[in-house]
């Protein structure tokens, strides 16, 4: 039974951690981030199943996490007022070709990061961008100015 | 051209008048000026502070593992216990019991309260006691004779069962035959 409690505890701790470390860390998956992800998974597993090598234990752990994830996504869908808490809010980082320094700084996004994301969207100059919005996933979406090719 | 005046779905405040081409569901006051409780930084700082405090407490051994030395003294012998009093589930650790005889002891018995054995694996006991038995749930190790001025060290290697969470009384007593020479009172705290 305690494996279910451990899974619930770890789920909410991880959820909280992911929310407070910020979306920049979530969006960029550099090689080092990938290694960190594996290390994190290993550390979590130790605390979650501990010395339980049973199939039942594994099913309890993943079943609990799956149900919690379902519950969180349902709460996110059903209760709009919870969305800022559960998912966060998008942030405008460029408006009418001008970067919003305060918002970029808040999310620890440099101009280099921004222009790199622009290039990946085939946008060469920031002047072509009407709006750039950092989404809750950490990805930056760009809306070009009317008339920009 | 689409204007975004009517973005008050689900409680979102509308954008100012004459604001053209704003992406759907984006409210400038909220997503550009960040005027929303969701962007209230002190909450984030408080949570980060909480995590930091948890880590610093770990550095200061609040959650156990570092061994402590406790010594009890009497006219006949000293008993020194070197073991952690705070441990965590799954942890391997050593408890070292050192007896220093101030006079010849003929029949030394070490008594460990049941908290030492409760949901803990006892992997190794070195050197092996002459005899082991149980009295009222406590463990008794008969160690034999110790000459005056000699030291006897007993090593016991433990592993904590992950489900063994909470506080347990784990006293240690030293006997010469049936006479209790000294006692070390301690609590063992097991973190999840």
- Run of H or E including A110: none
Q: Is the pLDDT of residue A92 over 90?
A: yes
State pTM to two decimals: 0.74
Q: Do B31 and A146 touch (CB under 8 A)?
A: no
pLDDT grade for B16, boundaries at 50, 70 and 90: low
Q: What is the mean pLDDT of residues A132-149?
A: 87
- Decide if B36 touches A, using CB distance below 8 A: yes
Binning pLDDT at 50, 70 and 90, where does residue B108 land?
very high
Average pLDDT over residues B56-68: 90
Residue B89 to residue A89, Cβ atoms within 8 A = no
Per-residue HEC secondary structure of chain B comes to: CCECCCCCHHHCCCCCCCCECCCCCCCHHHHHCCCCHHHCHHHHHHHHHHHHHHHHHHHCCCCCCCCEEEEEECCCEEEEEEECCEEECCCEEEEEEEEEECCCEEEEEEEECHHHCCCEEEEEEECCCCEEEEECCEEEEEEEEECCCCEEEEEEEEEECCCCCEEEECCEEEEECCEEEEEECCEEEEEC
* Subunit contact B22:A131, Cβ cutoff 8 A: yes
Within 8 A of A20 by CB-CB distance, chain B residues are 44, 47-48, 51
Q: Which domains does chain B have, with CATH numbers?
A: 68-191 (2.60.40.3670)
Q: What is the pLDDT of residue A115?
A: 93
* pLDDT band at residue A28 under the 50/70/90 scheme: low
pLDDT score of A77 more than 90: yes
What's the pLDDT tens digit per position in B26-57?
A: 888 888 888 888 788 888 889 899 999 999 99
Band the pLDDT of B1: cuts 50, 70, 90: very low
Predicted local distance difference test score (pLDDT) of residue A107: 87
Residue A26 pLDDT: 60
| Confidence (pLDDT) at B8 | 43
Provide the mean pLDDT of chain A. 89
Mean pLDDT in residue range B119-145: 95
How far A102 CA sits from the closest chain B CA (Å)? 9
Residues of A in contact with B34 (CB under 8 A): 91, 102-103, 106
Q: Are A95 and B31 within 8 A, CB to CB?
A: no
A86 vs B157, higher pLDDT: B157
| Higher pLDDT, residue B19 or B126 | B126
Mutate to test the interface with B, among A13, A18, A46, A51 (most CBs of B within 10 A): A51
What is the tens place of the pLDDT at every residue in A108-125? 899 999 999 999 999 999
What is the structure's pLDDT at A149?
A: 60
């Amino acid at each position: 039974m305690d494996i279910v409690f451990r899974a619930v505890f770890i789920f909410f701790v991880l959820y909280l951690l992911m929310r407070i470390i910020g979306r920049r860390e979530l969006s960029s998956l550099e090689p080092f981030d990938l290694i960190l992800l594996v290390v994190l998974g290993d550390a979590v597993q130790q605390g979650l199943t501990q010395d339980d090598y049973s199939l039942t234990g594994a099913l309890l752990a993943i079943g609990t996490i799956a149900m919690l994830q379902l519950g969180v996504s349902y709460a996110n869908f059903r209760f709009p007022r919870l969305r800022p808490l559960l998912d966060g809010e998008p942030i405008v980082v460029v408006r009418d070709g001008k970067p919003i320094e305060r918002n970029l700084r808040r999310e620890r996004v440099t101009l280099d990061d921004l222009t790199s994301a622009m290039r990946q969207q085939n946008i060469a100059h920031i002047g072509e961008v009407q709006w750039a919005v950092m989404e809750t996933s950490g990805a930056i979406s760009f809306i070009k100015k009317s008339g920009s090719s | 051209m689409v204007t975004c005046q009517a973005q008050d779905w689900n409680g979102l405040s509308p954008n100012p008048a004459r604001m053209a081409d704003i992406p759907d569901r984006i409210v400038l006051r909220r997503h550009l000026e960040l005027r929303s409780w969701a962007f209230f930084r002190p909450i984030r700082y408080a949570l980060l502070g909480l995590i930091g405090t948890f880590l610093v407490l770990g550095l200061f051994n609040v959650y156990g593992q570092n061994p402590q030395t406790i010594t009890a003294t009497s006219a006949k012998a000293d008993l020194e216990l070197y073991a952690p009093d705070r441990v965590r589930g799954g942890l391997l650790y050593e408890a070292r019991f050192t007896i220093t005889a101030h006079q010849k002891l003929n029949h030394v018995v070490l008594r460990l309260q049941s908290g030492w054995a409760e949901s803990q694996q006892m992997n190794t006991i070195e050197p092996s006691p002459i005899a082991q038995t149980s009295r009222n749930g406590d463990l008794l190790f008969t160690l034999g004779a110790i000459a005056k001025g000699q030291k006897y060290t007993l090593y016991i290697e433990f592993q904590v069962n992950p489900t063994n969470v909470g506080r347990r009384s784990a006293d240690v007593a030293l006997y010469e035959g049936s006479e209790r020479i000294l006692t070390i009172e301690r609590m063992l705290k097991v973190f999840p």
